[in-house]
Amino acid sequence: RCFCKLNGEIDDCSCKVETLSVLNNNKIYPRIKSLLSRNYFRYFKVNLKKKCPFWHDDSRCALKDCHVDTCKEEEIPSAIKKGSSAYRYSEEAQKEESCAEEKELSALNTTISDESIQAFKDWKEHDESQDLFCDIDDESSADSEYVDLLLNPERYTGYKGESPHRIWRSIYQENCFKPQTEYIYGPSKSSSPLCLEKRAFHRLISGLHTSINIHLCADYLYQENLGYGMKAHWKPNVAEFQKRFDPQTSNGEGPQRLKNLFFTYLVELRAIAKAAPYLQEEDFFTADSDEDKDVRQGIDDLLNIISTFPDHFDESKLFAGNPNEAKLLKDEFRNHFRNVSRIMDCVGCDKCKLWGKLQTQGMGTALKILFSGDDIGPDSTVNAQQKKHFQLTRSEIVTLFNAFGRLSKSIHSLEMFKSLLSKS
């Protein structure tokens, strides 16, 4: 019955499942949980009305639990709005930006026409978007709205059947790397092995899928008939968990899917460690000085624990071969991941779409930190010629921490399921 008692090394990493569980459950989970309840992290601006770019699908989830409650603009602290990328389009920010650009342009020491200024701007935008691993919603769009994540928790919604299957199928079948064999879900049964980068891509997606499915099992909806009406209860569903992850009911794949969760966690953990010098400089400003101070202390505390962890994922092993081949592989990796982020606009349940978009954006931010060159982190070298300085928007920081928080909660929930299974 103890199929979820995983042990041994996490594939392609030098870290054991047991070590990571202890670190997460004892140190990281309580800290990240507390941080994510703060104003800086709880408001996320998202466009849930974007059209699915890949297929026509009108099927909307009519279930009550798929619904997302959005916030009114006036409920959001103005300092948070100022920190959003929508602020970039405001007059004040445009003024600041054009001053900075003028300085950059005058350093070129040439006679500048309007066209070359536009070309410079286009080039800069293009250059910045090259680093992105996912499509990020335009926060200035009228369809983008703030959501209070604490009021819209990720949990069982009843979203099932063809619509989610089509999403997962199109992610694994068309956007996950796999050897050319008959299509199967999960790790390949083919004899031709995938290279490290492609294996990593598959594991990242599978780990995210595992995490989403653990959350719906951990926070499952039970309806109690009180005679005069139904009352909703949210509690763990052990049978649902067992059905999804027991080798006997998951075609033997359950334990590997659980291990993939640890892999995804390790990758995002390493991204946060690598971004630590940058995050330590961030002010997490919400204009509430006590709260902001607490958040900065909480971040420092978490980063200290993460930075001293000895068995981090080693991203330098990826894209390390012949530079031309590595570049092509990285472009392919980035394009596939961008497609996965776009597929999230096809999810037919708003609550699932909200968390799907947030978690893919957070994972995209982690990939940007790990693979956009060494502009930050311990090996930081700023490329003076290109004047490229690593930057994260508030939205990227919020999604990175919330996505990591979801994985952390999933690993924590495994302990709960282990204990419930041992009692049943």
| Residue number, 32 or 346, with CB nearest to ligand FAD | 346
| Residue 168 is labelled as binding a ligand | yes
Contact map string, positions 238 to 277, toward ligand FAD, x by CB under 6 A? -------------------x--------------------
Instruction: Return the residues of window 124-183 that contact ligand FAD according to CB under 6 A.
Output: 154, 156-157, 159-160, 164-165, 167-168
The residue annotated as part of the active site, out of 4, 13, 15, 352, is 352
Work out whether 363 is an interface residue with ligand FAD (CB under 6 A).
Answer: no
CB contact burial 15-51 (16+ within 10 A = b; e otherwise): bbbeebbebbeeebbebbeebbebbbbbbbbbbbebe
- In 3-state terms the chain splits into helix, strand, coil percentages (rounded to 5) of 60, 5, 35
Contact map string, positions 172 to 191, toward ligand FAD, x by CB under 6 A? -------------xx-----
Amino acid symbol at 380: S
| Count, residues near ligand FAD per rule CB under 6 A | 24
| Residue number, 352 or 403, with CB nearest to ligand FAD | 352
Residue among 363, 252, 271 at smallest CA distance from 313? 271
| Residue 206 is labelled as binding a ligand | yes
Q: Give the whole-angstrom CA distance, residue 104 versus residue 88.
A: 18
The stretch among 83-91, 208-216, 329-337, 415-423 that binds ligand FAD (CB under 6 A) is 208-216
DSSP string of 166-223? HHHHHHHHHHS---SSS--SSS--SSSPPPHHHHHHHHHHHHHHHHHHHHHHHTEEEE
| Residue 244 is labelled as binding a ligand | yes
| Residue number, 348 or 377, with CB nearest to ligand FAD | 348
Applying CB under 6 A, among 19, 47, 140, 213 the residue interacting with ligand FAD is 213
**Known active-site residue 349:** yes
Q: What is the distance between the terminal CA atoms of the chain, rounded to a whole angstrom? A: 9
The stretch among 96-104, 140-148, 344-352, 410-418 that binds ligand FAD (CB under 6 A) is 344-352
Query: Least distance in Å: CB of 29 to ligand FAD?
Result: 19
Instruction: Return the residues of window 216-235 that contact ligand FAD according to CB under 6 A.
Output: 216
E-strand stretches of 63-208:
144-148
Q: Give the whole-angstrom CA distance, residue 253 versus residue 321.
A: 31
**Known active-site residue 4:** no
> Do the bridges between strand 220-225 and strand 144-148 make them parallel or antiparallel, or are there none, so unpaired?
unpaired
| Residue number, 185 or 309, with CB nearest to ligand FAD | 185
Which residues bind to ligand FAD, rule: CB under 6 A?
Answer: 154, 156-157, 159-160, 164-165, 167-168, 185-186, 206, 209-210, 212-213, 216, 257, 344, 347, 351-352, 355-356
Query: Active-site residue numbers?
Result: 349, 352
Q: Residue ranges for the binding site?
A: 155, 157, 168, 206, 209, 244
